[in-house]
Amino acid sequence: MAKIPTSEGQIPFQIPGENNISCSTYYKVFGDLARDAPAVVILHGGPGGGHEYLLSFAELWPRYGLPVVLYDQIGCGASTHLPQMEGNKGFWQESLFVAELDNLLDHLKLREGPGFHLLGQSWGGILGVAFAASRPRGLRRLVLASALASMELSVQSIQLCRSELPMNSQRVLDRCEQEADYESQAYKEALTVFHKMFVCRAEPVPAELMLAFQHLSDDRTVYGTMYGPSVFKCTGSLRSWSSIPCLPQITAPTLVYNGEYDTSRDISQEPFFDHIPRVRWITFQGGSHMCHLDAGGLGERVLKVVGEFLMQHKAVALQP
């Protein structure tokens, strides 16, 4: 797996409407952005999970000649943290991260020449849909990896997963949630069972995914404010979010994928397939929410499917 970036740095980011808050976005580039090939910009999940668990997609550079850009969204990782904004639902909105993505694209000059592709995983898919629906200049192709079309459908998906947990784990979750106890050892153990069944089925848990969990644990400002105290309790600024009305506005060819055991079940993918004009949907058998990290060759299959889909931009460009 390619882990040594060609370049990395910090991009100044001035938050719209917040003249007294100056931030910076940490990014990594794998490959040559000057090459005549669209860069693949990777949008991580969480929100607040950081970029490391998506590093396997850096292999798109040596295998397909596609430069790859990963970055930490503000509020996590090596980008600016804003703990003073915890609980401010008006501040932590999808529009903030769209503005940050716009800023990154402008700084790296990715709208010019061959343009760019977007790959959004989980919450990154929410961000990718919002951005793609604005029909941004330079966007060639969109990949929605275990994303969700609306928070209502996501909650239903997660409840389906929860109903498949061992009864003992379900009882622990029920009891702890009634007591608003999200920090006890019993709750954490039940959550670990959920993670192993539906979030990532690889054993042991990949080190890069452990880094994402660590980011979410070290600073809960973004996740806690936008989502809530637990994956099973959405009370944050995303609570009523839905992409469904804007899906017909996405003109970029789109690949949608999820896993058989994904927390993003098929019900949360169906609107993508029904409403995005140019779309392909794949469900990976045996896959979890982190298909790209799952064992048994699944990660390799995901990379191949994504790489081949993104390379189709060449065939499209050659059409009269």
CB 150 within 8 A of CB 271: yes
Question: Closest Cα partner for 293 from 255, 259, 264?
Answer: 259
Question: Using an 8 Å Cβ cutoff, are 255 and 134 in contact?
Answer: no
Q: What are phi and psi of 19, to 5 degrees?
A: -65, -20
Signed CA dihedral, 226, 97, 46, 8: sign only: negative
Catalytic residue among 289, 292, 294, 313: 289
Strand order in the sheet with 254-259: 7-14, 22-30, 68-72, 39-43, 116-121, 139-145, 254-259, 279-284
Q: Where are the beta strands (DSSP E) in 183-228?
A: none
Rounded distance between C-alpha atoms, residue 187 and residue 220, angstroms: 17
Q: What are phi and psi of 288, to 5 degrees?
A: -110, -165
Angle at 96 between CA 32 and CA 50, to 5 degrees: 55
DSSP 252: S
Give burial (CB, 10 Å; 0-12/13-18/19+) of 230: middle
Distance CA 113, CA 109 (A): 9
* Given 56, 79, 122, 237, the catalytic residue: 122
Residues 161, 227, 213: CA angle, nearest 5 degrees: 70
Active site residue 122: yes
What's the DSSP call for residue 13? E
Single out the catalytic residue among 56, 219, 243, 262.
Answer: 262
Give the chain's largest Cα–Cα span. Answer: 63
- 275 catalytic? Reply is no
- Count CB-CB contacts under 10 A for residue 288: 27
Q: For this structure, is 237 an active site residue?
A: no
Active site residues per annotation: 122, 262, 289
